[in-house]
Amino acid sequence: MDLGLHLANFTWSGGSATFVDDLVRTARAAEEVGFTKLSVMDHVWQIRGVGPKEHEMLEAYTALGFLAAVTERVELLAWVTAAVYREPGLLAKEVTTLDVLSKGRAWLGIGAAWNEEECVGLGLSFPPTAERFERLEETLQICLQMWSDSTEPYDGKHYRLGSTLNVPQSVQRPHPPILIGGGGEKKTLRMVAQYAQACNLFDSPELAHKLDVLRGHCDALGRDYDEIEKTVMTRVDPDPAKVDATLEHLAGLAALGVTHVHTMAGDGSRTDWLEVFGDRIIPEARKL
């Protein structure tokens, strides 16, 4: 099992005076201790459950470009891109650019979006639920066409592109891997089976059921279920006193077929929590 690190909270104890240096140190340390993926949220305001909306929040793809420049090996993605925040052609170009500048380390993490408050606040598009899912699927189709050899037009219900020219192309071929976040059983998991290399589900009592639903969609579409990486977003506690319990829980997830666990970062102005991951958690998780 691999572990990834999610940068969701940028309100660190060092404050703005040390923030950039702290971010660089955190990213490099995460890579050094063995995290395989490094992600940021695609939000413009802080979200509930992490902090007040007034807390610091970086724009996702600008931040990922910066992180590409200060790391060498860790894979980079937005966990997850809000499909309706950008026109699909521009999103494909952004992920391609990230892949080129990171020398082949970009993923497209994507979902249908949910935060209406920030959209109303900054004037971003936030269509009704059904339309957001339609736009998500068209976005996936457009990205895949732009990462192919085709420059033909795309004519969908919501998006029309006169040409899907994309130069330079992504370093990863046939395209950067796609992760779709969400556990919707009729639409989201069907799209995972049809388009994605990875799913992301919450660590909940429903996890086994959601994976069974995904398997059913794979069977219906003729997709090999085992080709899809099963990822879970959960909080992995780096408290040294809780490491045994943490590893026991990770073993339970591995038994369900989860191969990647993504966890929230701690205070980026400190490094002690990263040292616990590197010394005691990540080496043992790799054995699962």
9 Cβ contact partners less than 8 Å away, ≥ 6 residues apart:
46, 50, 51, 55, 264, 265
For 245-279, the DSSP string reads HHHHHHHHHHHTT--EEEEE---TT--HHHHHIII
Q: Which of 21, 12, 5, 31 is nearest to 267 (CA)?
A: 12
Note the pLDDT of residue 280. 97
pTM over 0.85: yes
Note the pLDDT of residue 193. 98
Note the pLDDT of residue 79. 96
Note the pLDDT of residue 58. 98
Q: Which of 161, 6, 187 is nearest to 92 (CA)?
A: 161
Q: What token pair was written down for 223?
A: 């997709």
Pair 136, 112: CB distance under 8 Å: yes
For the chain, 288 residues long, give each residue's pLDDT as a single digit of tens.
Answer: 999 999 999 999 999 999 999 999 999 999 999 999 999 999 999 999 999 999 999 999 999 999 999 999 999 999 999 999 999 999 999 999 999 999 999 999 999 999 999 999 999 999 999 999 999 999 999 999 999 999 999 999 999 999 999 999 999 999 999 999 999 999 999 999 999 999 999 999 999 999 999 999 999 999 999 999 999 999 999 999 999 999 999 999 999 999 999 999 999 999 999 999 999 999 999 999
Note the pLDDT of residue 127. 98
